[in-house]
Amino acid sequence: MPAAGRLCTVDAPIGFLYDPAFLDHDTGEHVENGARMAATMSLLEESGLLARVRRVAAPAASDDDLALVHDRRYVEAVRRAAQAGGAWADPDTLITPRSFDVAARVVGGTLAALDAVLARDVESAFCLVRPPGHHATPVQAMGFCLFNHVAVAAAHARQRRGIERVAIVDIDVHHGNGTQDAFYGDPSVLYISTHEYPFYPGSGAATESGAGAGQGFTINVPLPAGCGDAAYARVFDEVVLPALRRFRPGLLLVSAGFDAHFADPLANERLSVDGYGALAGRLIAAARELCGGRLLLALEGGYDLVALPWCVRRTVELLLGGEPAPDPLGAVPARPASDLDGLIAEVRRIHAL
């Protein structure tokens, strides 16, 4: 399976979701702000990549869509907070007057992109969206997240589109506690997370592996700080890919957080653009091997205004099957991982990989 570099050119177009309305969730100087979108769209435009993708519209998700994962009382509480002029949902998470509408369009657009993938109108899709979603639980906003777009997409695929098994791979540097909560007892959704640990939000130990019928279908790889390209590649080759092959999903969703890049201000891992490209290459190849290429990636974190755009650009280049542009940021030496051998062995033992 190729790790990175040039992949075969695809026959079907690649879907791409972005809407200027995502800027209306105006968080001011908060680190999760609209500059993330502006910088990324600028680089994609300059590169010519936007001319090669099929744009997907972002309709608003209905309350029924959101209720696939979120409690209706929670949905209504977010709506009321926005209508009342906004509020802080927690010390990190701002609801502005437009936040409900924007977050609903993030979910609706993600569902539209997913439906295009499942209908084979596009081979795969990348969703450039904000606010992020993977910390949003069925009943709580947190970690910059209001509605969990990837979790809703997984539930939509299962409950409405007849996909028997859905896999979610979360490469954000923070553990996706909301996504884990949504499917912790569900054997039809495999959730795999690679994340810095111990770190926000404090969940994601290797022993958190599901409950009841879902036991074994949550796989956490809690990485020490300082891991770089080689460590992440090894985790994918020894844990993530074997787990996907055993599960054999009909659809692969990716919570594409790019905040494990060494330049990111909110974390302490040391991935490079090339390192992220290596992970994306593995996921693209896995989707083609296991589920007919049915792959959707949706943005989560990533807060450096140079690293984030370049990581998105590399991912889109690989989806399109082209030769990636050189990594302008290069790499930095990774700190020696504290007993990565032991961590991988523990995860493989827990999950019989």
Catalytic (active site) residue 135: yes
Q: How far is C-alpha 151 from the geometric centre of its chain's CA atoms?
A: 10
* Other C-beta atoms lying within 10 Å of the C-beta of residue 86: 16
Report residue 243 as tokens: 């787990």
Cα of first residue to Cα of last residue in the chain, in angstroms, is 18
Strand pairing category for 93-95 and 87-90: antiparallel
Element (H, E) at 222: strand 218-223
In the chain, count H helices and then E strands. 11, 10
Using CA atoms, how far residue 223 sits from 168, 172, 331, in Å, is 18, 12, 19
Using CA atoms, how far residue 335 sits from 27, 212, 303, in Å, is 34, 38, 22
204: CB partners within 8 A, 6+ apart = 175, 177, 180, 193, 195, 197, 220, 222
Active-site entry in 25, 70, 134, 135: 135
CA distance 208 to 218: 7
Nearest to 18 by CA among 97, 125, 93, 95: 125
244: CB partners within 8 A, 6+ apart = 167, 169, 190, 192, 252, 286, 290
CA distance 149 to 141: 13
Active site residues: 135
